[in-house]
Amino acid sequence: MEFLWFGDRGRPVLMFPTSIGRFYQNEDFGLTGALADKVDAGLLQLICVDSVDAESWYNKRISPADRARRHDDYDRYLRDEMLPFIESRTGGNVVTLGASFGAYHAANLAGRYPGRVTKAICFSGLYDVGQFLGGYWDTLCYYHTPMAYIANMSGEWLDRLRQVEWVVATGENDSLIAQNRAFADLLARKGQRVQAEFWPGVFGHDWPYWTENVRRFI
């Protein structure tokens, strides 16, 4: 698995690409550049990881169960390889950041490993993978669907989740606006720290909006 690492000091930001994107996508489209001065000042380190979306949720050549299993492989890579590597170099306090389907990855990692991830910045996100499953559902799908498992959290798990600071943002004309509102509302109902922004009068689901706004959240 390839990745890019920018900076040698500061809080680590684990950045995910959009749907089926590669590890260099956030650099190519200017999202890392929008934070370059903060990297240069030693405030942030940016780690841009690759994805396996084309082998998992987006792979219509395999069964929904196999799609979920392939994504679970990716989750183990993040949990057992990438997060420990980041923590060993930075001390932890990891931020996840993603836009579109990258926001799904950012939210899912934060929801599954609160404390290791302490902030999730989610632009124009998707938080329910049901559209990739054709009606199929199993335990693995459930535990990789933030809208599902967070809705059922209680007690100790909710307390652990409060270690995460959440940002959910997109334009009010985004085709995914309903899902973003629903996810932000879910987090608020569960007593979580969530900053929700729905920018008036704009689509919001595109790189210019994400690069314009990312600086305000980190």
Can you give the pTM of this predicted structure? 0.98
The residues, any chain, with a CB within 8 Å of residue 88's CB and separated by 6 or more, are: none
129, burial (CB in 10 Å: exposed 0-12, middle 13-18, buried 19+): buried
Report the CATH fold assignment for 3-217.
Answer: Rossmann fold (3.40.50)
d(CA 144, CA 128): 9
Give the model confidence (pLDDT) of 136-193 as tens digits: 999 999 999 999 999 999 999 999 999 999 999 999 999 999 999 999 999 999 999 9
Mean pLDDT of the chain: 98
Closest C-alpha to 17, from 31, 7, 36: 31
At residue 91, the pLDDT reads: 96
> What is the average pLDDT across 80-102?
98
- Give me 184's structure tokens: 């932000």
To which residue do tokens 């689901």 refer?
205
d(CA 5, CA 15): 10
Domain-wise residue ranges, the chain? 3-217
At residue 133, the pLDDT reads: 97
At residue 1, the pLDDT reads: 96
- Give me 199's structure tokens: 């920018």
Cβ atoms of 51 and 71 within 8 Å: the answer is no
